[in-house]
Amino acid sequence: MKPLFIKNFTLQELEARVAGMGEKPFRARQLYKHLYARNVADWSECTDLSRSFCARLESEVSLHALAVSRVDEADDGTRKYLFRLHDGHFIESVLIPDPPRCTLCVSSQAGCALGCKFCLTGKLGLKRNLQTAEIVDQVCQALRDPKLGSKVNSLVFMGMGEPLANLDQVLRAVSIITDPNGLMFSHRRVTLSTAGLVPQMRRLGTATPVNLAISIHAPNDALRDDLMPVNRTYPLAELMRACRDYPLQARKRITFEYILLEGVNDSPAQAKELVRLLRGVAAKINLIAFNPHPGSIFRTPSMERVLEFQDVLRKANLTAIIRKSRGGEIGAACGQLAAKEGRN
């Protein structure tokens, strides 16, 4: 029998569950506070709940959806968590200290089905979608980290998987993460990334005001078709149309992630193509030099090449930021997540 994770429930669902156990509705609100505001690690910490109620909770639902298998720390302070799921699969999350921000990179799937050529996660294939509790519990576990937990103030759904391919569970998780009675993160501190699933983007835009990031990585269809198979289903014209129509709050922009691959997509001419592509979109661009991993055919461009690319974008009045890769020596940098202990 599959375990029933209590963090799968929204507050309203928890109220119904608690009522079904013969408890008064306010007990659900107490329990919700213990789960998130207090982030309890054990039912015994719920001291204002009766022992009989806690005993029933312990026998009927699981408090934790994840088990920490390993924590690795890089020289720059980046911490990578390997989590074991109840069915034996593994996922990874990464905690990145970059004062004043301390960002948790969250996974939404075990593995990934999109098969982007430059991404190690894509080589795993898709094992399965994560449940709401498995997403939320990554945040809860990170918040309990003795070194950095108290500093976590930003979340990005840029770990393993394509968040919009698991949109139902991701939206439920986001509702708990941003609930003032839940984990209390501001919508402005939560970013969802997508490789460009256009129908799901339209739904996301009406469902939540969290930030949107697009993994773009190529300025034309021919190259993007080769690097990112999703482009064959949702080509750039369709993706850009969805970006222009995306409902953004005042002063918000869509972030475009662009991994620079030496000799592939890093020329000044391709930067000019990207300028033309993004015309009419409220955009900012994060430039990321490729993070190498075993077996990859791609190489990291020189910093001179990266700066040339950035210069073209800036001269076109686009905000273009070079993102420093973090945690590369522990396989925690962008595109390196592989949950190695979970591989068969």
Contact call for residues 134 and 69 (beta carbons, < 8 A)? no
pLDDT at 250: 87
Task: Tell me the pLDDT band of 344, cut-offs 50, 70 and 90.
Answer: very low
Considering the chain, what percentage of its residues have pLDDT values greater than 70?
95
Q: Is 92 one of the catalytic residues?
A: yes
pLDDT of the residue at 343: 40
Helix (H, G, I), strand (E, B), or coil: what is residue 248? Answer: coil
pTM: 0.95
Q: Helices 198-207 and 167-178 meet at what angle, rounded to 10?
A: 20
* pLDDT tens sequence across 163-206: 999 999 999 999 999 999 999 999 999 999 999 999 999 999 99
Cβ-contact 329, 335 below 8 angstroms: no
Q: The CATH number of 67-342 is which of 3.10.450.50, 3.40.50.460, 1.10.10.10, 3.20.20.70? A: 3.20.20.70
Q: Which of 205, 201, 122 is nearest to 163 (CA)?
A: 201
Strand order in the sheet with 211-215: 67-73, 79-84, 90-98, 101-105, 154-157, 190-194, 211-215, 254-260, 283-289, 319-322
DSSP secondary structure code for residue 313 in this structure: H
pLDDT of the residue at 3: 84
Q: SS3 of 79, please?
A: strand
Q: Under CATH, what is the fold of the domain 6-60?
A: DNA polymerase; domain 1 (1.10.150)
pLDDT of amino acid 105: 96
| Residue 341 pLDDT exceeds 70 | no
| Residue 1 confidence (pLDDT) | 64
User: Is 60 an annotated catalytic residue?
Assistant: no
Angle, to 10 degrees, between the axis of helix 25-35 and the axis of helix 11-20? 130
pLDDT in tens, 158-168: 999 999 999 99
Over residues 37-46, mean pLDDT: 95
Length of the chain equals: 344
What pLDDT is recorded for position 64?
Answer: 96
User: Position 236: which residue type?
Assistant: L
Choose, from 92, 134, 162, 257, the residue flagged as catalytic. 92
Q: What is the pLDDT of residues 267-326, one digit of tens each?
A: 999 999 999 999 999 999 999 999 888 888 999 999 999 999 999 999 999 999 999 877
Average pLDDT, the chain: 93
The radius of gyration computed from the CA coordinates of the chain, to the nearest angstrom, equals: 21
The one catalytic residue among 46, 102, 105, 334: 334
**Over the stretch 78-118, which tens digit does the pLDDT of each residue have?**
999 999 999 999 999 999 999 999 999 999 999 999 999 99
Residue spans of alpha helices (H) in the chain: 11-20, 25-35, 51-60, 132-143, 167-178, 198-207, 221-227, 236-245, 268-277, 303-315
Cα–Cα distance for residue pair 318/253, rounded to 1 Å: 11
Residue with tokens 């107490």: 30
Q: Are 136 and 7 in contact (CB under 8 A)?
A: yes
- Please state the domain extents for the chain: 6-60, 67-342
